[in-house]
Amino acid sequence: MKLLLIHLLLLPLLVMAETPNFQAWQYVYANGSPIQLSLGHAAPCVTDWDGDGVKDLLVGQYTGGMIRLYLNSGTNSSPVFTTFTYLQADGVNIQLPYG
């Protein structure tokens, strides 16, 4: 009981410590145009996919359940995205359940 009470008392502190700091939205461009998905429902993720120290962009898309990979040819502070490839496994586009 004592342990539960301590957890309950500390919970607000943990929530406050993890509160994200959002900034105003902005388009992400590839080849000079905003990245658009045909049906929307984008699931973006930023990570250094190829291990070169520069963060890349992955975007899960509703259409076909596929995942776009935009490699960053710029820097982390000024990313540059051009074309994308779909993530593949054994030469086949990875498709996740969708719908």
Check residue 56 for interaction with Ca ion (CB under 5 A).
yes
Q: Which residues touch 74 (CB under 8 Å, ≥6 apart)?
A: 54, 80, 81
Residue closer to Ca ion (CB basis): 85 or 95: 85
Least Å from the CB of residue 52 to Ca ion:
4
Q: Least separation, in Å, of the C-beta of 92 and Ca ion?
A: 23
Q: Is 48 in the site for Ca ion (CB under 5 A)?
A: yes
Give the C-alpha separation, 45 to 57, whole Å: 6
Residue 66, classified by CB atoms within 10 Å of its CB into exposed (0-12), middle (13-18) or buried (19+), is middle
Residue closer to Ca ion, measured from CB, 37 or 69: 69
Interface ranges with Ca ion (CB under 5 A): 48, 50, 52, 54, 56
